[in-house]
Structure 1
Amino acid sequence: MAHLTADKNFRLPRTVLPRRYTATVSLDLEARTFTGTQTVELTVHAPTNEIILHALALQLTQVSVRIGGTQHTPTSIQPVAESETVVLRFASPLPTGEGSLAVDWTGRFTEGLRGLYLSGKVAATQFETADARRLFPCFDEPAFKAHWALSVRVPAKPELTVLSNGAVTSDKTEGAFRHVTFQETDVLSSYLIALVVGPLVGTPEQKVDGVPVRTWALPEKAHLTRFGQEAALASLPRLQEYFGLPYAYGKVDQVGIPDFEAGAMENAGLITFREVALLLDPATAPLSVQKRVSEVVAHELAHQWFGNWVTMVWWDDLWLNEAFATWMAYKIVDSWKPEWRVWLDFDTGKAAALHLDALKSTHPVRGEVRNASEAGESFDLITYEKGGAVLRMIEGFLGEEAFREGIRQYMRTHARGNAVADDLWKALGAASSQPVVELANAWIGQSGYPLVSVSQEGHQVTLTQRRFYSEPGASSGERWPVPVVLRFEDGNGVREQRVLLREERTPVTLEGSGEIRWLSANAGSTGFYRVAYDAASLQKLASNLGALAPSERIGVLADQWALVRAGLAKVEDFLNLAGRFGNEEDDAVLDELAGRLSYIESRLVEGEDQERFRRWVERLLGPGLEKLGWEPGPEESNRIRLRRAALVRAVGVLARGQGALGEARARVKRAFAGDKQALEPNLLDSAVAMVARHGDAALFDTLLEKMKVEPDPATQRRYLTALTSFEEPALAKRGQELFFTDTVKMQDVTTYLSGLLANRTGRDAWWAEVQKRWKDVVGRTGGAPMLLRRVVESLGLMRTRAQLEEVQALLQTHPVGEAQQAMKQTLERLAQDVALREREGAGVVEWLRRQA
């Protein structure tokens, strides 16, 4: 009979619980091997003749248990591949009580980006969701929290920095080795343990309320650490104040890792980052990069409370960690840099989640997770962005003060422990006296979201709701408690009115008097729903765009485009609305407009019609760019610089304007010759992309050489992406050949793959190569779950029905087991894209001919 552990969905019993790990690991960096020895203090809660630990690719050499003064040696040590466990069996039952488990083991570094792996010159760990078991035999589930007292033996090389969760308490040289011991941690789940060893240099130590903070990088990137350090120094006191609790983990080390799967990882006291999410030079970095680094730093520090101090019981509440940190990060950065208007960036993430959540193949924010592998699929837009948007919507409904008091209650009640979603809702409900459990669980436990339709006659408004699908004709009967905030203008000015829309149809009488000039049914676009206005209401909004907040103008555009995708509006109506935005001055609105128009240009029109569409875009937005010019003024604000950058993206990248291309060529040439004033930083990405698209072999060689030696990760990424953009066929092929070389790091393979599939002239040949070498393409991810998801998602860049059928055949014949959700979502979205092209392409052509 098979042991109960012979099941991928096996969960550890609560019979034996760890209290404290005391472990030493010895690393051989050249051979990429390690040995370990540890004692686990544990409590046996019921007599048992076995102890089950997680261990993956580890060889246990000596094992013994001591309880009540008696030593017990296992009669068998049985690894179980299905559950990644090892079963220690004993001749007689172990008695209840406190004892200790001693284990020695050996293992090898992982070849991918999980467990303990070599990232260039740096040995680093990445354990979430379930890869601590690749370095330690341990109880590798989040509910098994324990203290960790770690030490590390490494070669006695003075240039090596050795970091872990706790501060260094001892660093001794013993012959050819250094033995570094770290301060014991507070109780932590195994996925939050971390170790980094490499030739790293750090910023000078700075303290926040006695907590030392340092930011680390390779020596050649040390000049790029200051901004990330400042972001941490700004975030930490704001988070302590919000939670009403001091930071718990002694110190904060932030480390840039040269090759890293995720954006960053919130290991307690030792936060690891992909370099591009931490390192930058504020003198040359676009504001988008500065905002992204600030947001990631704040996100990971927010986890030190929400996730590390109070931890989910199991991975089905992963969303609770990630959604909260996503929302919190924007709140913190907005407090630090209000002029950045980061909530508009939050809305961009929310928009992507709305797109995904309109599919039939979406999933609830909180869904069943049977094993750690399935948890890996949950790191997506629904978990992060929809979850964060729902929290923001609930905060808007409860009010900031009540919401924060509920969070503080939750933190106090579950300090150092584990909790589930309902624990949070109950705390928020107690603090606000509102039906939070009902409101939250409707949004968290149910997939999808509503389309709120608005019909208005004077002060009488009828709101109706039904589930929104991007599939034309799809329908189902779900309803939500929708916290609708109406914003409108009458004779006495602008006012707001709140309605909790529970029923399918609700009449509302607008307050005030006089004519209603315009009505927005999603004030500030904080609600996670789409709005469909009747024709007269939409016309009023289009005629009063200047009265709407930027987020509301974005919402009107995005909702109207979503209605086109769903077959509820015609593309001509959307284009007529888009034509009203020629004088738009807000960069975020311009980017939303350009994103929708770019989709039409790349997917719905061909040949002469494509060129005709580009010229229409240039006529619409070109005058704005001409008025601003490319040269920034001496006292110019960020708002103006970002507007210029958005117009360059629209006129130069989308519309392929020849004037913009000529300007970019001249300025890139000057920049490459060393002229630091040639291009304002916010124009760099667009200018290099435009020039590369039309570039020659000499430019390809220049970009390749610059990319290889560039220390700034954002600049390096810019050059790498540009190498996918060359449209001269021979150079497009050269770009493709780089994919299977070390020139493209593992962390970058999905970005590079997507760039190649987006290349107009190289796409078909590359797609044929991808199909032939699919196993090699997938292999380039090293099995990293997030990268596998993105490889699958990149196939959504295909365009025709024949290509859709080829994608279907490829994924049917060679499925990616760790990306089941991504496969379903990508195929569904691509099928809708192809159907939209067939349904609306002629409408774009007819509309264009009427514009002449």
Structure 2
Amino acid sequence: MPPPRTTKPSSTSRAGTGSPAKVRTSRSSHRESTSRRVPGPSNGSCWTTRTRFTGATLAAGRAPGRGTRASEPPASRSSRRLPPFLSGCGTTSGHFRRCPLALGKDFRLPLDAHPVRYAAHLAPDLDAGAFEGRIELEVRLDKPRRELILHAVELTVDRARLRTGGRTIRVGRIEPDAESETVTLSLDEEVPAGTAVVDLAWRGKFSPGLRGLYRAGPVAVTQFEAADARRVFPCFDEPAFKARWSLQLLQVPPGAATISNGRVVEDEAGADGRRTVAFSETPPLSSYLIAVCVGDLSASEPATVRGVPIRTWAVPPKRHLTGFAQECASAVLPLLEDYFGQPYAYGKLDQIGVPDFEAGAMENAGAITFREVALLLDPATAPLNVQKRVAEVITHELAHQWFGNLVTMVWWDDLWLNEAFATWMAYKTVDVWKPRWRVWTDFEVGKGAALHLDALKSSHPIRAEVKNAQEAGESFDAITYEKGGAILRMIEGYLGEERFRDGIRLYMRKHREANATADDLWGALAESSGQPILELANGWIRQVGYPLVSVSERDGRLVLRQRRFFSDPEAKEEGPPVRWLVPIVLRFREGAAVREQRELLRGEERQLALEAQGKPVWVLANAGARGFYRVAYEPALLRRLIEALPELESEERMTLVSDQWALVRAGELHVHGFLRLLEGVARHETDHSVLDELVSRVSWIEHRGVSEADRPALHSWIRRLFAPAASELGWDAREDEEDERRLRRAAVLRGLALVARDPQAVEEAQERFRRLVAPQPGRIDPNLLDVVVAAAARTADRVRFAELRRRAEEELDPAAKRRFLHALAMVEHPELVPDAVQLSLTDVVRMQDFPSYMGTLLGNRATREPAWALVQERWTDVRRKADSPMLLRRLVEALGALPERRHLKEVEAFLAAHPIEGAKQAIAQTLERLRMDVALRERLVPDVSAFLRG
């Protein structure tokens, strides 16, 4: 490993998702750093001082004032040292009033004022956890006005003025509104239409959670999506307001890396060694795409691709793990340029591994931020699934540089335009780069999660109404990403790859550096293809749910019927039936030939003749698994299809198993038939993706669908499923073994050792764990590490628990660190359970990992009850540990692992008593899932018992 080093600073940073919190105003406890200075206005003219809010007023969520005067600042305040650019001006005190406009939670900025250019100065103090800023904001005003409204939350605005037409207009009052997260600048005289420059100076504190500007180990970093730029800069914090940004960082410590969206154009040290770092101006960007990163980071060796310098950043001890990310970005950037027909627009590309990060990654223009586990790895020791996942995340974020950054949604109801396209494009591009990885099988796994979520009554359309940025945060889910990506893939299959690509290129040309809507995309695709795409597409993105397509034969013709599919057997459609325009690709075998036939299912039913001379041997109604729908075959058609399983593609076999399980959950297929299907599939299956699907299904049944009395019999049945393949594959891989065989071994041994708990397999896993942690580690196929560590954790004693904890704390490789951390939550020894549960609230579990760690505890039969008790009894500490809207939503979803009816009642009561702002949708979906899973468990337990005894 190379020695840690501090590199020359570079420009880059941004990340995440989060929902806005209440505005908190200045309090007397706010301390101003006297050692950090932000340059003042060039002409030295007077600024308006804002009287500070009382904390009590804002804590109650009201706009300050309403006829009352804010508390006067203490006398000592006037003698406090101010930065030079804030000093020498008179102050204006006065009372605050609510803005005359109707603000409130759903307030959106008026469209008659537009930002043109931000010239921002920011002085972050990592030691104090605070920052100071100043901005010169050029705005275009469409009509005269006496006030200007900006977004700002938890900022203390100390000075404000406005310049226009060579004169300065005084800001008489600075009026914040907590609920709308805005600040209104009330001017002493009317400002004419035209261009004006707003000068503002402010202070703030680092956020305690993972949004705004926050501390992540040795790094201060920003995460602004959806609406947290306002926690750092007073700004127009909505995606429609694109503007150019010129940023300067002040008082930067010697040796600290500095990264933002632009290139570093100036880096000068003062007499005290502290530096001023200036970045080049950006192309027009929405505020959520701005990034700042300052701290102890080290960069990879740069690569230059088509004139674009690329670097990957990590904390110094992890610099040796940056090579794969460099290789991936260097390979896919040209592929994306070629696909879009547009060059990369942001001059340089920095990829930053952040030690604590809310989302997986964030597409800040030219300065992409990542969780370390989504960026850093050693290809020599990383399992293939980790390499694929990192490549998919990197490519997803790079695709955003065009789809999302260069062309941006108008409002958050079109968030799916960004995320669905980047999801689909990532798999498409990685498949070109690494075809042997067969990443479309991974796409099918994600699509399966979206199908499961979208079968709930509490689901939402891909394009749903979003009233405010907090609601936008709730849209970061499998519907927006995976369902949206699946719909795009389905449309591409319908139009053809070239016509679809030509439509995307047209869309990019028309809306470059501007904003666009879904209808703009459909219009470009229709123009390029000549197809009426609007009707087809809007039905899928504007309607909630998806169809169950039933396939039967009648008088020699194929009959297709559709209705909305629900996982809940008791759920019914409300109102007029929802129907889709369904593009269906049929595949069938006639004699020795396999043919395809494309059809559109419009309305409830369609009868059609297959283009065959006689009766087909078998018919598949979702060829290539491209359709976003479930399929139910009549028994005769299903039998013929099962007999032909080896002739189907792996994605088709995986989808068939997934669809049959969905029908079991919905009460439309008896579990006995499904279990017989698994026996038939396992007998001859050689594809890892299908085997993974089988393991996931039997794991759910083992976890929730069997009684304790029948569990040993179920384990024996699962062993019989996987033992033949395990015997053939063994535990040790050859040096030259192909990837598919390695992944197949991992799937089979997961089923055998972790689900069936086969004693011999468990012992083999433990032997390999002993090799792994030996002073001279033995060789283990990286693809088996998850199985080996999990099996060892379940039987851990105190010595092994201590070893697992040491590894979780000391590992540099992020995937290995995560593996050992979650293993601590898998322990089953009664003496270790309290330690594993209490560990969740310590620094060993970082904030970003808390929901998944808690989810592992809740899914473990040994730790479930004490973990659930901890959530209830120490809710204040739990909330603090998951101090961001996205993490809280993930924590709510983790409660879905609780299996019993009493748990359902307890969760319902607990969430009712402890409301969580910004998690309304997650709560509704989790409770619906719990109700269904409890009912399914009660239905399956006797049926599984009868199967095992029959």
* TM-score where L is the length of structure 1: 0.98
Taking the TM superposition and a 5 Å limit, the aligned residue runs for 1:116-195 are 116-158=213-255, 160-176=256-272, 177-195=274-292
- 1:380-429 Cα offsets, whole Å, 9 max, x none, are 01000000000000000000011000000100001100011100000001
CA deviation after TM superposition for structure 1 residue 18, in Å: 1.1
Q: Which residue of 2 aligns with 1:758?
A: 859
User: More deviation in 53-62 or 320-329?
Assistant: 53-62
Kept after mapping to 1: 8 A contact 2:854/2:867: no
Q: Secondary structure at the match of 2:238?
A: coil
C-alpha separation in 2, matches of 1:714 and 1:427? 41
* Matching residue within 29, 36, 43 for 2:133: 36
Q: Which residue of 2 aligns with 1:495?
A: 595
Q: Which residue of 1 aligns with 2:501?
A: 404
Q: Which residue of 1 aligns with 2:679?
A: 579
C-alpha separation in 2, matches of 1:34 and 1:635? 55
2:820 corresponds to which letter in structure 1?
Y
CA deviation after TM superposition for structure 1 residue 15, in Å: 2.1
2:528 corresponds to which letter in structure 1?
A
Q: Which residue of 1 aligns with 2:59?
A: none
User: More deviation in 740-749 or 515-524?
Assistant: 515-524
- 1:161-211 Cα offsets, whole Å, 9 max, x none, are 101000100100012320000011011001000011111111111111101
* Matching residue within 513, 520, 539 for 1:416: 513
Q: Secondary structure at the match of 2:108?
A: coil
Q: Which residue of 1 aligns with 2:880?
A: 779
Kept after mapping to 2: 8 A contact 1:492/1:512: no
1:349 corresponds to which letter in structure 2?
G
Kept after mapping to 2: 8 A contact 1:5/1:83: no
C-alpha separation in 2, matches of 1:155 and 1:484? 59
Q: Which residue of 1 aligns with 2:31?
A: none
Structure 2 unaligned runs (5+)? Answer: 1-65, 67-97
Provide the aligned C-alpha RMSD in A.
1.1
C-alpha separation in 1, matches of 2:765 and 2:592? 49
CA deviation after TM superposition for structure 1 residue 153, in Å: 1.2
CA deviation after TM superposition for structure 1 residue 678, in Å: 3.1
1:247 corresponds to which letter in structure 2?
Y
Kept after mapping to 2: 8 A contact 1:171/1:179: yes
* Matching residue within 834, 858, 869 for 1:768: 869
1:725 corresponds to which letter in structure 2?
M
Kept after mapping to 2: 8 A contact 1:601/1:613: yes
Is 2:413 the partner of 1:313?
A: no
C-alpha separation in 2, matches of 1:457 and 1:556? 22
Kept after mapping to 1: 8 A contact 2:406/2:512: yes
CA deviation after TM superposition for structure 1 residue 467, in Å: 0.4
Kept after mapping to 2: 8 A contact 1:778/1:791: no
2:899 corresponds to which letter in structure 1?
R
CA deviation after TM superposition for structure 1 residue 214, in Å: 0.5
* Matching residue within 665, 668, 672 for 1:565: 665
Q: Secondary structure at the match of 1:50?
A: strand
C-alpha separation in 2, matches of 1:232 and 1:355? 32
**Bigger relative contact order (CA 8 A; separation at least 6):** 2
Q: Specify which structure has the higher proportion of helix.
A: 1
Q: Secondary structure at the match of 1:213?
A: strand
Q: Secondary structure at the match of 1:196?
A: strand
CA deviation after TM superposition for structure 1 residue 633, in Å: 1.4
Kept after mapping to 2: 8 A contact 1:491/1:513: no
CA deviation after TM superposition for structure 1 residue 457, in Å: 5.1
Aligned residues: 848
* Matching residue within 610, 624, 645 for 1:510: 610
C-alpha separation in 2, matches of 1:154 and 1:543? 71
Kept after mapping to 2: 8 A contact 1:486/1:519: yes
CA deviation after TM superposition for structure 1 residue 634, in Å: 2.5
User: More deviation in 768-777 or 611-620?
Assistant: 768-777
Is 2:765 the partner of 1:664?
A: yes
Q: Which residue of 1 aligns with 2:641?
A: 541
2:265 corresponds to which letter in structure 1?
T
CA deviation after TM superposition for structure 1 residue 608, in Å: 3.0
C-alpha separation in 2, matches of 1:651 and 1:194? 46
Taking the TM superposition and a 5 Å limit, the aligned residue runs for 1:322-721 are 322-456=419-553, 459-476=556-573, 477-581=577-681, 582-721=683-822
Is 2:375 the partner of 1:278?
A: yes
- 1:67-91 Cα offsets, whole Å, 9 max, x none, are 1112101110011101111000012
* Matching residue within 329, 332, 336 for 1:235: 332
Kept after mapping to 2: 8 A contact 1:311/1:419: yes
C-alpha separation in 1, matches of 2:532 and 2:203? 53
Kept after mapping to 2: 8 A contact 1:278/1:297: yes
Aligned identity (percent) is: 55
* TM-score where L is the length of structure 2: 0.88
CA deviation after TM superposition for structure 1 residue 786, in Å: 1.6
Kept after mapping to 2: 8 A contact 1:215/1:228: yes
Kept after mapping to 1: 8 A contact 2:252/2:277: no
Is 2:934 the partner of 1:834?
A: yes
C-alpha separation in 2, matches of 1:256 and 1:459? 60
Distance 1:479 1:526, change over 3 A: same
Kept after mapping to 1: 8 A contact 2:825/2:863: no
User: More deviation in 465-474 or 587-596?
Assistant: 465-474
Q: Secondary structure at the match of 1:59?
A: strand
CA deviation after TM superposition for structure 1 residue 458, in Å: 7.8
Kept after mapping to 2: 8 A contact 1:5/1:82: no
C-alpha separation in 1, matches of 2:537 and 2:891? 33
Is 2:116 the partner of 1:52?
A: no
1:752 corresponds to which letter in structure 2?
Y
User: More deviation in 97-106 or 344-353?
Assistant: 97-106
C-alpha separation in 2, matches of 1:190 and 1:801? 46
* Matching residue within 786, 790, 812 for 2:912: 812
Q: Which residue of 2 aligns with 1:822?
A: 922
C-alpha separation in 1, matches of 2:412 and 2:700? 36
- 1:747-806 Cα offsets, whole Å, 9 max, x none, are 000111001101111212222222222332222111x22211110001110111111111
Q: Which residue of 1 aligns with 2:94?
A: none
CA deviation after TM superposition for structure 1 residue 679, in Å: 1.5
- 1:598-648 Cα offsets, whole Å, 9 max, x none, are 111110112231111111010111110111111111310000000000011
C-alpha separation in 2, matches of 1:149 and 1:127? 17
Distance 1:666 1:379, change over 3 A: same
Q: Which residue of 2 aligns with 1:304?
A: 401
CA deviation after TM superposition for structure 1 residue 59, in Å: 1.1
Q: Secondary structure at the match of 1:351?
A: helix
2:624 corresponds to which letter in structure 1?
G
Distance 1:338 1:378, change over 3 A: same
Kept after mapping to 2: 8 A contact 1:492/1:513: no
* Matching residue within 17, 23, 30 for 2:120: 23
Q: Secondary structure at the match of 2:831?
A: helix
Q: Secondary structure at the match of 2:103?
A: coil
CA deviation after TM superposition for structure 1 residue 93, in Å: 1.4
Kept after mapping to 1: 8 A contact 2:707/2:941: no
Kept after mapping to 2: 8 A contact 1:50/1:87: yes
Kept after mapping to 2: 8 A contact 1:350/1:385: yes
* Matching residue within 159, 162, 168 for 1:65: 162
CA deviation after TM superposition for structure 1 residue 674, in Å: 4.4
1:832 corresponds to which letter in structure 2?
M
Kept after mapping to 1: 8 A contact 2:130/2:204: yes
